[in-house]
A and B are shown apart, each in its own frame.
Chain A
Amino acid sequence: MTQVWQNLQEDLQVALRILGWDCDFRQFVEESLPLLLQDISDETLTLEKLMEAQFLCAKGLANLAMHSSSFERFEKIKHGLSQHEDAGTFLAIIGMDETTYWQRRPGLTDAEYQEVKHGQWTVQELLERRPALILAPCLRPTSFNN
């Protein structure tokens, strides 16, 4: 098992148990999420693209949770992320600087963040290397501190 999955496994299991879904999260991340992100996977990773990836992920999970009590909450998360083109304005309004947004748990390391700032990552690389960052808005506060 890769380090990425070791890091994610416990968080996802807790989320699964709490949500009461009979859902294979690993399959969601490995099979469904790439499909959801396919239109933007080759694009350079920016703050706006991160929020768009999170939006598409929340949209997929909202569809999965359509018949569960969690549906409305996922819809709210999805709607909250829907203005991804204005991600910078959103951060300004909540008073968070971009570095903090990228690096808070389960965020990027300093070195990774520098690579992203220099346009060296695509959305696909984020999915492969840091899928938890895409899932983070949907899993808080189960596992991650804000």
Chain B
Amino acid sequence: MYVLPNKYIDMSLESPQTPQENLRKEPTQEDLQAADQLIIENELLAQNPRVKMLQENNFVTEDGRQLDAGNFLAAMLDYIGTQEAGSLTEEDISAAVANNS
């Protein structure tokens, strides 16, 4: 059995900044253009009224917090993707079933 080495624990705990800690800064015009582009390229985001509202409000939330638009949207896409797919693909499961049958 694999014992989790302390270094992995340490790495997780030592990480000086989560993406959250980098978030609260004024977006540059370039940031906003990149976010707009991401929305144009992704139907899921483009059709979402909440995303549209955030976009129109320069990614300031209702409670006045400034989001890092690019990072927020990229994380949202990963979140949606993993909500649908999780960590394991159908291929993984098929291969495991084949190997264990």
Contact = CB atoms under 8 A, between A and B. Distances in A.
The majority secondary structure among interface residues of chain B is helix
B41 to A, nearest CB: 17
Interface size class of B (residues with CB under 8 A): 35 or more
B20 A17 contact: no
B3 to A, nearest CB: 7
A22 to B, nearest CB: 5
Main secondary structure of the interface of A (DSSP, over half): helix
A140 B86 contact: yes
Contact of B79 (A35, A94, A140, A146): A94
A8 interface: no
A62 B83 CA distance: 17
B75 A82 contact: yes
B67 A92 contact: no
Contacts of B100: 17
B92 interface: yes
15 contacts: A19-B92, A21-B2, A24-B2, A32-B8, A36-B9, A55-B18, A60-B4, A60-B12, A73-B89, A76-B78, A76-B81, A80-B76, A82-B75, A86-B65, A142-B86
